[in-house]
């Protein structure tokens, strides 16, 4: 595909540095890219400069975590100015919350005879790239492997870090409404990430989309990587019914079996595309897409 509006770098939980993500996207034929790291703008300057050097279209992006209906929801924002004050303030608060969470995971693992986890996870994260962010559970998992506490990541999550285990420390995220308001105040375009990934039944998903639209959302991510075609069909129906724009992206996190950058299932051709609105936007660098 020549547009990819969803991918990650070492600025959050991706495996490649921002400039490497951009170079890889370009190699795979992407001509308009948004790097959408979790709850940070840290990779964007590097990504923007790398895209400019390649003559590639680029738009600012972020994937923000928030809560709705007792679940953690991801919202994508695009086309904002990198120094937008309300957005930067909100991300700074999330950033502090992530560090508190990492410290709590560290305390809990230490209490179970696995000391030094925060420092160890931080070292593993630093070896992957330069990040101010608190280490996340995959980094803790790799530390537990390195120390010989567990043989592999699945075991680390099953025993210590997965849902309901002692290392599963909940973070307090802002509401969906507050997150959309933050993005809108930064003049961002807003898309609801992978609406089929939440463990909702049909009526709860519809209620999510209804409230998302009321709160000011513009688009839904109709295609996320290699999701099943029937999911694309369900989301296309929602987009049509609610009059929402459609976005798409690979959700690339790194080379391997998670799917390649620029690669995702095809988009139904009748949907109005979010990225076609970017052309007239000053925060975007459109190329010939
Ligand atoms: Mn991720
Ligand atoms: Mn996500
Ligand atoms: Mn993502």
Compute, in angstroms, the gap from residue 194 CA to the centroid of ligand 2: 7
- Tally of domains in the chain: 1
* pLDDT on residue 286: 53
What does pTM read for this prediction? 0.85
In the predicted model, is pLDDT for residue 158 greater than 60? yes
Question: Structural domain of residue 154, as residue ranges?
Answer: 91-161
Compute, in angstroms, the gap from residue 176 CA to the centroid of ligand 2: 14
* pLDDT on residue 285: 57
Minimum-distance ligand to the CA of 12?
A: 1
Minimum-distance ligand to the CA of 194?
A: 2
pLDDT digits (tens, 9 = 90+) for 236-277: 999 999 999 999 999 999 998 678 999 999 999 999 999 999
Compute, in angstroms, the gap from residue 52 CA to the centroid of ligand 1: 25
Query: How much is the average pLDDT of 163-176?
Result: 91
In the predicted model, is pLDDT for residue 64 greater than 90? yes
Minimum-distance ligand to the CA of 62?
A: 3
Residue 249 lies in a domain: no
168's tokens: 């599963």
Residue 19 lies in a domain: no
Compute, in angstroms, the gap from residue 151 CA to the centroid of ligand 1: 23
In the predicted model, is pLDDT for residue 130 greater than 70? no
Residue 122 lies in a domain: yes
CA pair distance 42, 63, nearest whole angstrom: 12
Query: How much is the average pLDDT of 62-72?
Result: 94
Residue 71 lies in a domain: no
Residue 51 lies in a domain: no
Compute, in angstroms, the gap from residue 219 CA to the centroid of ligand 1: 20
pLDDT digits (tens, 9 = 90+) for 172-191: 889 999 999 999 999 999 99
The CATH number of residue 106's host domain is: 1.10.150.650
Residue 82 lies in a domain: no
* pLDDT on residue 74: 97
Residue 139 lies in a domain: yes
Write a three-state SS string for the chain.
Answer: CCEECCECCCCCCCCCCHHHHHHHHHHCCCCEECCCCECCCCCHHHHHHHHHHHCCEEECEEEEEEEECCEEEEEEEECCCCCCHHHHHHHHHHHHHHHHHHHHHHHHHHHCCCCCHHHHHHHHHHHHCCCCCCCCHHHHHHHHHHCCCCCCHHHHHHHHHCCCCCCCCCCCCCEHHHHHHHHHHCCCEEEECCCCCCCCCHHHHHHHHHHHHHCCCCEEEEEECCCCHHHHHHHHHHHHHHCCEEEEECCECCCCCCCCCCCCCCCCCCCCEHHHHHHHCCCEECCCC
Residue 112 lies in a domain: yes
* pLDDT on residue 283: 54
């Amino acid at each position: 595909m020549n547009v990819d509006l969803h991918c990650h770098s070492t600025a959050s939980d991706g495996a490649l540095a921002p400039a490497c993500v951009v170079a890889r996207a370009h190699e795979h034929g992407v001509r308009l890219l948004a790097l959408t790291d979790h709850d940070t703008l840290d990779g964007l300057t590097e990504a923007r400069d790398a895209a400019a050097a390649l003559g590639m279209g680029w738009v600012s992006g972020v994937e923000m975590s928030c809560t709705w209906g007792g679940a953690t929801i991801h919202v994508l924002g695009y086309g904002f100015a990198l120094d937008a004050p309300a957005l930067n303030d909100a991300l700074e608060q999330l950033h502090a919350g992530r560090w508190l969470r990492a410290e709590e995971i560290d305390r809990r693992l230490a209490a179970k005879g696995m000391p030094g986890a925060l420092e160890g996870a931080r070292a593993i994260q630093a070896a992957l790239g330069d990040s101010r962010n608190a280490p996340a559970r995959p980094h803790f998992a790799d530390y537990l492997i390195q120390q010989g506490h567990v043989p592999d990541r699945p075991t680390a999550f099953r025993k210590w870090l997965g849902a309901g285990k002692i290392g599963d420390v909940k973070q307090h995220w802002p509401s969906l409404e507050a997150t959309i308001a933050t993005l809108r105040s930064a003049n961002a375009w807003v898309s609801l990430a992978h609406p089929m990934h939440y463990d909702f039944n049909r009526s709860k998903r519809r209620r999510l989309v209804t409230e998302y639209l009321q709160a000011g959302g513009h688009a839904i991510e109709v295609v996320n990587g290699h999701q099943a075609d029937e999911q694309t069909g369900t989301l296309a129906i929602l987009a049509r019914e609610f009059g929402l724009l459609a976005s798409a992206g690979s959700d690339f996190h790194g080379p391997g079996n998670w799917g390649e950058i620029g690669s995702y299932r095809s988009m139904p051709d009748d949907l109005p595309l979010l990225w076609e609105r970017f052309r007239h936007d000053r925060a975007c660098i459109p190329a010939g897409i």
